[in-house]
Amino acid sequence: MSNSFFSLSSLFSVRVIRHSAGLVVLVSLFVTVFGNYTQWKLVLAWFAESGSNPLAFLSLVLFQFFLLTAIFSLLTAHKFFRWVLAFVMLVTAASSYFADSFGTVIDRVMLINAIETNANEAGDLLTLRFVLYLLGLFLIPTFLLRRIEILEQSPWLRLRSHILLGVGSIVALVVLVGTMSSFYVSFFREHKELRVYSSPLDVVYATYQLVSTDLMSKQLDFKAIGEDAAIPASDLDRELVIMVVGETARSDHFSLNGYSRPTNPLLSKKDVVSFASVSSCGTSTAISVPCMFSVDEKTNFDVTRAKYEENAIDILSRSGVSILWRDNNSSSKGVADRVPYEDFRSPERNPLCDPECRDVGMLHGLEDFIDSHREGDILIVLHQMGSHGPAYFERTPRSFWSFSPICERIQLDQCSSDEILNSYDNTILYTDYFLNETIELLEKYDHKFETVFMYVGDHGESLGEKGVYLHGLPYFLAPEAQTRVPLILSFGSQHHDLDIDRLRRVADQPISHDYVFHTLLGLFEIKTEVYDHRKDLEELAERAESTED
């Protein structure tokens, strides 16, 4: 017992070091070894597969250590060095938690998602494991950091020692890379997916991108597009379109697209066409939703510029279409900022909350809205909560827990693969119910309108394949599970301009979110110079038919 007490007291006793630069070395070593589990796991797996020299792995560890030391030494050359190092460990704890638990990379888009997320979504990620990460990688190290005393050090001596340490670390990096240049040139060129997990550098770089691109960038003038847009006078038929923007839905988990499980028992009985090869614009809601409504294609879409530019919703509204956006997600991501918008995330407006507010609640009162508009076309957009993880079990009422056993935990790595899969598939089953209810509401208006139902997922979801969960990976390394989304269309019996059988012939053709903007304009027969008929799904089907003939 005395030995245990001695060890414990030794741990928390005051230590003395000569220079604050010594703390930088300790923190850099701690972060390198303990704050980058996912990175080293992936690197070791690659080395085992490639048969590379084990010394190369050691050199990568040293590379990380010297790089962190160089950066930290220059960031802490002042009297507030302890605060900076404590913040470094806080960021490391958060970054490591998401990387180790979900395989998530913290990049600029992920930071935007974090800023725009709501409290409920954020709460899903705050688990006991997160607390343990904070304790082990932040609170305890910070406490020990405070217990270390620095001998009296003048500002000049501190500045000199930190500069010497930083320069020395940079020299060590140059020597290290120089002695193994052939390895580093190929490694950093070919394995971006390994180095993006470097903590806390991923957060530092993402923050730099966010600040320079989104916060400090020059305010742009708001840009109107499609100012010539108009509905032809010859179009006397009234259009009623309900578009559902899905959340976190994987195309390959829809039985309409060949999935072995019956996740679409209701839609399979409807006269719908399901496009099975649709690529998303992004891997997160913050990118995909504004992108699908933007005139810009994925290749040149910029989320910052989109905030200062009109979208398809604006063009339709200016053309005389009555718009209503209902949201059971975090927000419209700026798309519906200039049209009527209703938030259905609380019981004050959504009648179906138990306590989670259900997507089906967004249908409440829609008939009153439609009936109140006696002239003109109508577009209603319903933005789902859908299959948003990791709390899949909270996304559906218990009556929809058809696939079991399910994962009733937020910490997905504590559940079996089957439990995660069952929980996720139950959310698709509930989406099937919601979409069927939406179509049946539309069917009531077939005698008054040319009705159209459109469902588009925003992005997919990783369910533990190769240790990756959730979504939001950089697009260049995201698996298809995060980028392949469902798109479903259905037309009313009185819609004479659209041929669903013709659309079925192109349902397997590769398309993308780039088609949404132009298909929406085409559904309302909008004439404008920004409309590209080549990216209208109906026009795509017509061209395919002409080619066959």
Distance of CA 283 to the CA centre of its chain: 5
Give the pLDDT of residue 7.
Answer: 46
Distance, in Å, from the CA atom of 434 to the CA atom of 105, rounded to the nearest integer, reads 32
Contact 146, 13 (CB under 8 A): no
**pLDDT grade for 3, boundaries at 50, 70 and 90:** very low
Residue 175 and residue 257 in one domain: no
Residue 28 and residue 93 in one domain: yes
Q: Which two tokens stand for residue 433?
A: 């119910």
Distance, in Å, from the CA atom of 229 to the CA atom of 240, rounded to the nearest integer, reads 19
Residue 68 and residue 185 in one domain: yes
Give the pLDDT of residue 38.
Answer: 85
Q: Domain total for the chain?
A: 2
Residue 525 and residue 405 in one domain: yes
Give the pLDDT of residue 5.
Answer: 36
Residue-averaged pLDDT of the chain: 87
**pLDDT grade for 473, boundaries at 50, 70 and 90:** confident
How far apart, in Å, are the Cα atoms of 268 and each of 247, 274, 440?
A: 20, 10, 14
**pLDDT grade for 413, boundaries at 50, 70 and 90:** low
Tell me the residue range of the domain where 366 lies: 239-548
| pLDDT tens digit sequence for 285-343 | 999 999 999 999 999 999 988 999 999 999 999 999 999 999 999 899 999 999 999 99
Contact 85, 177 (CB under 8 A): no
Give the pLDDT of residue 151.
Answer: 75
Looking at the chain, the whole-number percentage of residues with pLDDT higher than 90 is: 55
Residue 491 and residue 539 in one domain: yes
Q: What is the CATH number of the domain that holds 501?
A: 3.40.720.10
Over residues 150-158, the mean pLDDT reads 81
Name the residue among 330, 279, 337, 334 with its Cα closest to residue 306.
334
Q: How many distinct helices (H) and strands (E) make up the chain? A: 22, 12
Distance of CA 206 to the CA centre of its chain: 14
* Comparison of pLDDT for 321 and 208, the residue scoring more: 321
In a domain, 234, yes or no: no
* Comparison of pLDDT for 466 and 89, the residue scoring more: 89
* Comparison of pLDDT for 155 and 51, the residue scoring more: 155
**Residues with Cβ < 8 Å from 246, sequence gap 6 or more?**
384, 386, 387, 431, 455, 456, 457, 458, 485, 486
Give the pLDDT of residue 121.
Answer: 63
Give the pLDDT of residue 466.
Answer: 81
Domain boundary among 215, 247, 268: 215
Omega before 390 within 30 of 0, i.e. cis: yes
Q: What size, in residues, is the chain?
A: 549
In a domain, 111, yes or no: yes
Give the pLDDT of residue 148.
Answer: 85
Q: Which two tokens stand for residue 289?
A: 């939703």
- The H or E element spanning position 55 is helix 54-75
Residue 169 and residue 69 in one domain: yes
In a domain, 180, yes or no: yes
Distance, in Å, from the CA atom of 485 to the CA atom of 487, rounded to the nearest integer, reads 7
In a domain, 2, yes or no: no
In a domain, 222, yes or no: no
DSSP-derived pairing of the beta strands 462-463 and 450-457: unpaired
Name the residue among 244, 194, 180 with its Cα closest to residue 38.
194
In a domain, 104, yes or no: yes
Give the pLDDT of residue 157.
Answer: 87
Residue 351 and residue 208 in one domain: no
- The H or E element spanning position 86 is helix 81-102
* Comparison of pLDDT for 290 and 185, the residue scoring more: 290
Over residues 246-265, the mean pLDDT reads 97
DSSP readout, 179-242? HTHHHHHHHHHH-HHHHTT-TTHHHHHHHHHHIIIIISSPPPPPB---TT-B--TT--SPEEEE
Q: Which two tokens stand for residue 409?
A: 């935990």
**pLDDT grade for 357, boundaries at 50, 70 and 90:** very high
* Comparison of pLDDT for 260 and 147, the residue scoring more: 260
DSSP readout, 118-179? -HHHHHHH--HHHHHHHIIIIIHHHHHHHHEEEPP--HHHHHHHHHHHHHHHHHHHHHHHHH
Indicate if the alpha-carbon torsion angle 470, 472, 477, 481 is positive or negative.
positive
Give the pLDDT of residue 322.
Answer: 97
Give yes or no for residue 493 having a pLDDT over 50.
yes
Give phi and psi for 352, each to the nearest 5. -115, 80
Residue 293 and residue 354 in one domain: yes
- The H or E element spanning position 491 is strand 484-491
Residue 211 and residue 244 in one domain: no
Residue 94 and residue 126 in one domain: yes
Give the pLDDT of residue 197.
Answer: 76
Over residues 163-182, the mean pLDDT reads 87
* Comparison of pLDDT for 326 and 199, the residue scoring more: 326
Distance, in Å, from the CA atom of 348 to the CA atom of 326, rounded to the nearest integer, reads 14
Distance of CA 24 to the CA centre of its chain: 34
DSSP-derived pairing of the beta strands 469-470 and 239-246: unpaired
Amino acid at residue number 60: L
* DSSP 8-state assignment for residue 380: E
Give yes or no for residue 262 having a pLDDT over 60.
yes
* Comparison of pLDDT for 470 and 224, the residue scoring more: 224
Give the pLDDT of residue 16.
Answer: 64
* Comparison of pLDDT for 251 and 472, the residue scoring more: 251
Over residues 39-45, the mean pLDDT reads 84
**pLDDT grade for 256, boundaries at 50, 70 and 90:** very high
Give yes or no for residue 8 having a pLDDT over 80.
no
Residue 27 and residue 169 in one domain: yes
Distance of CA 371 to the CA centre of its chain: 37
Omega before 474 within 30 of 0, i.e. cis: no
| pLDDT tens digit sequence for 436-455 | 999 999 999 999 999 999 99
Distance, in Å, from the CA atom of 157 to the CA atom of 155, rounded to the nearest integer, reads 6
* Residue position matching structure tokens 């179906």: 352
Give the pLDDT of residue 9.
Answer: 46
Q: Which two tokens stand for residue 316?
A: 């339709």
* Comparison of pLDDT for 541 and 337, the residue scoring more: 337
**pLDDT grade for 1, boundaries at 50, 70 and 90:** very low
In a domain, 225, yes or no: no
* Best-predicted range by mean pLDDT (88-102, 176-190, 304-318): 304-318
Describe the crossing of helices 20-34 and 54-75 by its angle, rounded to 10 degrees.
140
Give yes or no for residue 279 having a pLDDT over 90.
yes
Over residues 134-149, the mean pLDDT reads 88
Domain boundary among 183, 215, 247: 215
Give the pLDDT of residue 122.
Answer: 60
In a domain, 227, yes or no: no
Residue 349 and residue 433 in one domain: yes
* Comparison of pLDDT for 491 and 101, the residue scoring more: 491
Q: Which two tokens stand for residue 326?
A: 């209902």
